[in-house]
Amino acid sequence: MNGPRNLISLRDFTPQDVVEIFKLASDMKKSGAKYREALSGQTLAMLFQKPSTRTRVSFQVAMAQLGGVAIQLRDSDLQLSRGESLADTARVLSAYTQGIVGRMGSHGDLVELAKHSTVPVINGLTDLLHPCQALADYFTLTEKKGPLDGRKVAYIGDGNNMCHSLLYGATRVGMNIAVATPAGYEPKSIILKSVNREAKHAGIEVVLTEDPSAAAEGADAIYTDTWLSMGRESEEAERLSAFRGYQVNANLMRKAQSDALFMHCLPAHRGQEVTADVIDGAQSVVWLQAENRLHVQKAILYLLMRA
Ligand code: CP
Ligand code: NVA
């Protein structure tokens, strides 16, 4: 492969890469001090066009814990805001830094950034995908449940960036996945086409339905995300109505295994996609998911930036 290694989509990582990342993340979580100098002298540029709590802070802390430095950049801080192109920005950032995390308005912009960058580019969320979150989520599932092959995750709600990356991730960890969305809010067909190909190869089952109970049936984990992703704020009224019936509540949790986990990438909206008793209840692992962003991203940075 020419050029640096990127993480734009989980398709960029093989199942073996994922095993390696999980092993490394686990070791970093236990023995962080061993990696204190791992990225010493290296700098990560973080270009964020949308708000972020977890991704932004966990990447910054990850670099600090690995002995490197992270620079937070907003569009308004850069000449991008005055019309300098993404291509030229990528070339310049590549001259100063050893990696770039991008949270871009559109997926195409991240791809453009990566195309012109000579250092690894990591997807910190686009409208299409959120691979770092999905990796941390499957890592969390592995910690809680052991090997994942043959197990089942149910995703309930919007067929959005999170849903897309969980679908790709399932093909990498060998987990079956069922997705329940209202009509008109299914995962994108271009994603489904490639996920279905990869699912066949991985020997996993991918089920799409409009029925949340059918998706939840027998699941080892129930996952949901906001009904109003960043950039969709103007669709609030129609979305709140379309997603009525897709709330993860105690009734829906009962359809899953009795020890099923509740998962959410956060930020959450109690009373909309999930009830407070579920997200704040005993089956919820949302805080562990958030914590694991740090450990898994340290492993991603180590793998990509030391290469
Ligand atoms: N889950 C997640 O990516 O959160 P932030 O938007 O706070 O980064
Ligand atoms: N689907 C959500 C994820 C936030 C982490 C969004 O794009 O806003």
Q: Which of 50, 230, 239, 274 to mutate to test the pocket of ligand 2 (most atoms within 8 A of CB)?
A: 230
Question: 1 falls in which pLDDT band (50, 70, 90)?
Answer: very low
Residue 307 in this model has a pLDDT that exceeds 90? no
pLDDT in tens, 208-225: 999 999 999 999 999 999
Nearest ligand to the C-alpha atom of residue 290: 1
Where are the alpha helices (H) located in the chain, listed in sequence order?
A: 15-30, 54-65, 86-96, 107-115, 131-145, 161-173, 189-202, 212-216, 236-242, 250-253, 276-279, 286-305
Ligand 1: centre distance to CA 53 (Å): 5
CA of 205 to the centre of ligand 1 (A): 28
- Please give the model's pTM, rounded to 2 decimal places: 0.98
Q: What pLDDT sits at residue 75?
A: 85
> One of 54, 130, 151, 295 is an active-site residue; which one?
130
User: 102: closest CA among 138, 75, 64, 76?
Assistant: 75
Q: How high is the pLDDT of residue 86?
A: 96
Phi, psi of 138, rounded to the nearest 5 degrees: -70, -30
Please write the tens of the pLDDT for every residue from 229-255. Answer: 999 999 999 999 999 999 999 999 999
Q: Pick from 133, 160, 224 the residue to mutate for probing ligand 2's pocket: most ligand atoms within 8 Å of its CB.
A: 160
Say whether 201 is catalytic: no
Cα(first)–Cα(last) distance of the chain, in Å? 13
Using one digit for the tens of pLDDT, what is the confidence trace for 106-162?
Answer: 999 999 999 999 999 999 999 999 999 999 999 999 999 999 999 999 999 999 999
Q: Give the pLDDT mean for 27-46.
A: 97
Query: What atom of ligand 1 comes closest to residue 266's alpha carbon?
Result: 1
Q: What is the model's pLDDT at position 274?
A: 98
Residue 293 annotated to the active site: yes
**Cα 300 to Cα 23, 136, 137, 195, distances in angstroms:** 11, 11, 14, 22
**Mean pLDDT in residue range 154-179:** 98
| pLDDT tens, residue by residue, 143-153 | 999 999 999 99
Give the model's pLDDT for residue 77: 87
Mean pLDDT in residue range 62-90: 96
Residues 241-271: b if buried by 16+ CB within 10 A, e if exposed? ebbeebbbeeebbebbbeebbbbbbbebeee
Give, using CA atoms, the residue closest to atom 2 of ligand 1: 54
What are the phi and psi torsion angles at 117 (to 5°)?
A: -95, 145
Q: What is the pLDDT of residue 2?
A: 58
Choose which residue among 47, 55, 294, 300 to substitute to test ligand 1 binding: the one with the highest number of ligand atoms within 8 A of its C-beta: 55
